[in-house]
């Protein structure tokens, strides 16, 4: 069953602040099941091409405001430059507790048999629903 302690969340927060001093993060525990990592303040993210699969149009997009990040398809959805930053944040969120002596991340999910077993869930956002990302 998914579970993450407050101490493990602290390890993620410390590692993110060490790796990315130019960003301000909000790193919180989500109902003991996962961790929410929110970019709150920092430099502007690079613009990227966004393809709308319904209208088949390509537009130039950015990560201003609030965005829920799909950390499984970073380069396809957010561009190569942003994928490097977001990928490193995802890596830290999945490995920092284990490297600091806390809980090791694992994912034993088997969707074909409807069996879900993960160490904890990770949610990455730019801004929050009630507070947009601030470019400085």
Instruction: Reply yes or no on whether the pLDDT at 113 is more than 90.
Output: no
Q: Once rounded to an integer, what is the mean pLDDT over residues 63-80?
A: 93
Number of other CB atoms surrounding residue 63 within 10 Å: 22
Q: For the chain, what is the mean pLDDT?
A: 94
Instruction: Reply yes or no on whether the pLDDT at 34 is more than 90.
Output: yes
Instruction: Reply yes or no on whether the pLDDT at 90 is more than 90.
Output: yes
The rounded distance, in Å, linking the Cα atoms of 37 and 128 is 10
Q: Do residues 22 and 42 make contact, with C-beta atoms less than 8 angstroms apart? A: yes
Number of other CB atoms surrounding residue 47 within 10 Å: 14
Number of other CB atoms surrounding residue 36 within 10 Å: 18
Q: What percent of the chain shows pLDDT beyond 70?
A: 100
What's the pTM value of the predicted model, to 2 decimals? 0.90
Q: What percent of the chain shows pLDDT beyond 90?
A: 85
Looking at residue 6, its pLDDT comes to 96
Q: Do residues 33 and 119 make contact, with C-beta atoms less than 8 angstroms apart? A: no
Q: Once rounded to an integer, what is the mean pLDDT over residues 9-35?
A: 97
Instruction: Reply yes or no on whether the pLDDT at 27 is more than 90.
Output: yes
Residues making up the chain, counted from first to last: 136
Q: Do residues 62 and 48 make contact, with C-beta atoms less than 8 angstroms apart? A: yes
Query: Strand, helix or coil at 2?
Result: coil
């Amino acid at each position: 069953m998914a579970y993450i302690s407050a101490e493990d969340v602290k390890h993620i927060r410390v590692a993110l602040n060490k790796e990315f001093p130019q960003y301000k993060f909000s790193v919180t525990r989500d109902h003991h099941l996962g961790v929410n990592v929110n970019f709150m303040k920092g430099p502007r993210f690079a613009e990227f091409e966004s393809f709308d699969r319904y209208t088949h149009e390509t537009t130039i997009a950015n990560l201003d405001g609030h965005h829920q990040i799909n950390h499984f398809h970073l380069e396809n959805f957010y561009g190569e430059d942003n994928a490097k930053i977001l990928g490193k944040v995802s890596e830290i969120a999945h490995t920092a507790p284990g490297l600091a002596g806390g809980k090791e991340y694992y994912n034993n999910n088997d969707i074909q048999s409807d069996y879900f077993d993960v160490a904890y869930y990770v949610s990455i956002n730019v801004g929050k629903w009630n507070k947009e990302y601030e470019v400085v």
